[in-house]
Amino acid sequence: MLAFLWANEHGSFSSAARARGLSPSAISKLVTRLENRLSVRLFQRGTRSLTLTEEGAIYLRSARSVMDAMAEADSLAEFFPAKISGTLRIHTMATFAKHQIVPWLPDFLQAHPDLSIEIEVGAQFVDQFDQGLDIAIHSGVLPDSSRVARRVGESNWITCASPEYLKARGTPEIPDDLLNHDCYHFSFNSPWNVWSYDVDGKSVVVPIKPRSTFTQGDLLRSVALNDGGIIRLADFHIGADIKAGRLVPVLDEYRSRIVQPIYLIYANRNNLSPRIRVFVEHLERQIALHPWHV
């Protein structure tokens, strides 16, 4: 279509070719291909000039309208990077959403009144990008995937209990002491249930027999806060409780040196929408301003 418009504008294939940096045969072939697709002749070819046929004159009006519409669409695109709007769909761990997103979310939404956010929670990463998901935030080892994973932080797993529980039952001195305490972990099969410690330079797993199990980390946290026993949770989840003295770390000298990376996952690294980009930047800024490590 462009070749047709250029040829009409310059009056010949050779003139159009010189103006656009192409060969005359390239322009001629493109116009001929267009004519074959339309099954009409658009130009009467002269030795040195072109003349529109009746069909060509009709097609010219439509072609100009199409190109004007494309130019208008391109001009609108100039505003896209600056406009933060639409719905951002996020999947993440319930505890991460509650403790690391929700506290600053109202101010973020107030700063972007045309943006809405849908947060779905789940313990494990599930690829739902084909169903409209924009971002996933998860920790640990991710399954092999063609998706893009960007590391935004890391978490340590801390064994802890309330001061009242430790006062009543005593503080474990070595990892095996946990076998004589009331301990709690998750009810689903997860690496989070493996209580590992560094003993003499080696990783040792304590075979915890939980008094009770739960599907959510916040329930484990509640048990500990209510003096029920010992738990093991990520520092992004309970860091504030430890800093406030509501929970006390135990066996810190045996804490595993293995940390769990936290990844931000999205479908493609190219041409991120403005709503994804502004959320990611804000999340990383909040993590930097409010570190959870203890």
- Rounded mean pLDDT of 84-108? 92
pLDDT of residue 294: 67
Burial label for 169, CB within 10 Å (0-12, 13-18, 19+), is middle
Q: Is residue 61 part of a domain?
A: yes
Paired with 151 in beta bridges are 263
- Rounded mean pLDDT of 156-177? 96
Query: Measured between alpha carbons, how far is 151 from 180 in angstroms, rounded to an integer?
Result: 38
Whether this prediction's pTM lies above 0.75 is answered by no
Same domain, 147 and 276: yes
Task: Summarize pLDDT for 70-82 with one digit per residue, the tens.
Answer: 877 766 655 555 6
Domain boundary among 78, 101, 120: 78
Same domain, 166 and 218: yes
Consecutive H or E run containing 117: strand 115-121
Instruction: List Cβ neighbours of 104 (8 Å cut-off, separation of 6 or more).
Output: 282, 286
φ, ψ of residue 210 in degrees (nearest 5): -70, 140
Same domain, 95 and 226: no
Q: What is the residue range of 134's domain?
A: 83-153+261-282
Number of structural domains (the chain) is: 3
Same domain, 12 and 101: no
Paired with 137 in beta bridges are 92, 264
- Report the mean per-residue pLDDT for the chain: 89
Task: Kindly report the CATH number assigned to the domain that includes residue 211.
Answer: 3.40.190.10
Q: Is residue 29 part of a domain?
A: yes
Same domain, 56 and 186: no
